[in-house]
A and B are shown apart, each in its own frame.
Chain A
């Protein structure tokens, strides 16, 4: 996709992919044939630039045919370089950082008002934590006791200019979110077994919102992309793509 489009957010899409897979193929209830089903669990990709992995998951989940992914980023496609309402399964357009949590708070308030059992998941970036509006949303979520809201931070420690804590220190995320009244848990965000078991264990009757700090590796799965800020926004060359595919194929075989 990114190779064909000639650009894309490779690193962040790979770091957050395991989280998306655990949500869409284990934790969440939804119906791709009825994307507006009122009782669906909601997912908001607040770090909207990790869109390539998100589109792959939506296609695999049945929201649109996987061959459409080949048109990603091309003229007049539904698959823009950030999620929009044109792509089936997208709840809200994102890309400008710091917006998703507030929208998730609104969805969670509506769920409480209606006594509906759905959950709202919001995936944020660690660099995104510098946006002030996130903390407005964080405050509102605990004030309104939104136990049906799950915030997740893709904590890959890198952003476009370098190490997150060098650009703007966000450590300690755990202390900050706890102080804002959230129940914080940490997990290896690239360990599928750990993710699946964590989402199963999050209590639904909580009076406090949940925050999952998912420790991830940017560019996960491809040796020469892992932990390299260069890959925040970069398309692979043909040779690099070939090498990456061979590495991922090998990992798949080793697992089986």
Chain B
């Protein structure tokens, strides 16, 4: 597990997509003038017949992908997460989820990846929007190895899926992609009995750092990586709550409707424990790089550790 990332998840996605496309001509990348931003250049050069450009028209891109799927293709509609999860959301709902077409929506540069470009380009709403639509799975990989494993899964899986990946290089969480992903399963990255951290996507690495900070203070935290947000691994969430007594979620998303909400919905009904949701508050964010915004909102090792300690202190105080 290293801090100095080299590759981005976007590159990992297109590399594996190309690998699969070379042996499966039904795989089609469909994009909306986002070839560069998705890093589909090599893919287009290698399999030009399996690359479809739709211009700056995300609604049409999703509708066209549904039509391709109804004619036996495996389309991957690729472009900025912000646009596919908002402007094209009705096409995602009707033409993909309701129609049950085999379309993968791959939102790149998700969350606050675009940094100072501002909230027009951020997708801090995407998980909430997608989670309220039946019949579409949601996956948010956390590093390069997991993105490779997720992409391999997608090239075989049949059915609607929304995948959100980031833009910049990310630190490594998983040493290899063989064990980095099973659909619908949480990954226990650290064992511990004092509390549980549940994180997804690019919030997993700071959560991992928080586990180290807490260990130094004598707190043994369990860490679950939750790459599949829907369907949620409810058993792992309930087991962690029962065994550790407190849960903190961490995500690159609004605190409304994302991972924290999904976990809270399960725990409130099945095993209520004290809980905190760390993410982006209900406001448009200031200008800044992705790292600056994570830091500003306390989505860092020390920030997460501080929230966890406050929650545990409060519990001890209450217990007397």
Contact = CB atoms under 8 A, between A and B. Distances in A.
Nearest to A134: B60
Interface residues of A, number: 33
Interface string B40-80: 00000000010010110101101111111111110100000
For this complex, into which size category does the number of interface residues on chain B fall?
20 to 34
5 contacts: A94-B94, A102-B60, A102-B67, A110-B73, A133-B59
A139 B63 CA distance: 14
B95 interface: yes
Interface string A152-188: 0000000000000000000000000000000000000
Interface in B5-52: 28, 49, 52
B49 A113 contact: yes
A109 B63 CA distance: 12
A136 B91 CA distance: 13
Interface in A100-147: 101-111, 113-114, 132-133, 136-137, 139-140, 143-144
Given A84-B98, A113-B49, A139 B72 contact: no
Interface in A164-215: none
B90 A103 contact: no
B100 interface: yes
Given A96-B90, A99-B94, A140 B99 contact: no
Given A84-B98, A99-B94, A103-B95, A140 B60 contact: yes
Nearest to B58: A136
Name B's interface SS: helix
A139 B55 contact: yes
A42 B67 CA distance: 10
Given A85-B99, A139-B57, A106 B68 contact: yes
Interface in A48-106: 84-85, 91-96, 98-99, 101-106
A91 to B, nearest CB: 6
A190 to B, nearest CB: 29
A99 B61 CA distance: 11
A159 B9 CA distance: 48
A38 interface: yes
What are the 10 closest A-B residue pairs judged by CB atoms, nearest first?
A106-B67, A102-B63, A110-B71, A136-B60, A106-B64, A136-B57, A103-B67, A107-B67, A106-B68, A133-B59
Nearest to B67: A106
A106 B63 contact: yes
A137 B64 CA distance: 8
A139 B70 CA distance: 21
A144 B51 CA distance: 12
Contact of B70 (A95, A106, A114): A106
Nearest to A118: B71
A143 B55 contact: yes
Given A104-B67, A113-B49, 8 more contacts: A38-B72, A85-B98, A103-B64, A103-B66, A103-B67, A103-B95, A111-B71, A139-B60
A137 B63 contact: yes
Given A102-B91, A107-B71, A93 B98 contact: yes
Contacts of B59: 98, 102, 132-133, 136
Contacts of B54: 136, 140
Given A96-B94, A110-B72, A110-B73, A140 B67 contact: no
A249 B41 CA distance: 63
Contacts of B98: 84-85, 93
Listed residue (B57, B67, B90, B91) with the most chain A CB atoms within 10 angstroms of its CB: B67
A94 B52 CA distance: 24
B55 A92 contact: no
Given A93-B99, A113-B49, A140 B57 contact: yes
Contacts of A144: 52
B71 A103 contact: no
B200 to A, nearest CB: 31
Contacts of B68: 106-107, 109-110
A110 to B, nearest CB: 3
Given A137-B60, A137-B63, A109 B52 contact: yes
B64 A92 contact: no
Given A102-B91, A105-B60, A136-B60, A110 B67 contact: yes
Nearest to A38: B72
Contacts of A102: 59-60, 62-64, 66-67, 91, 95
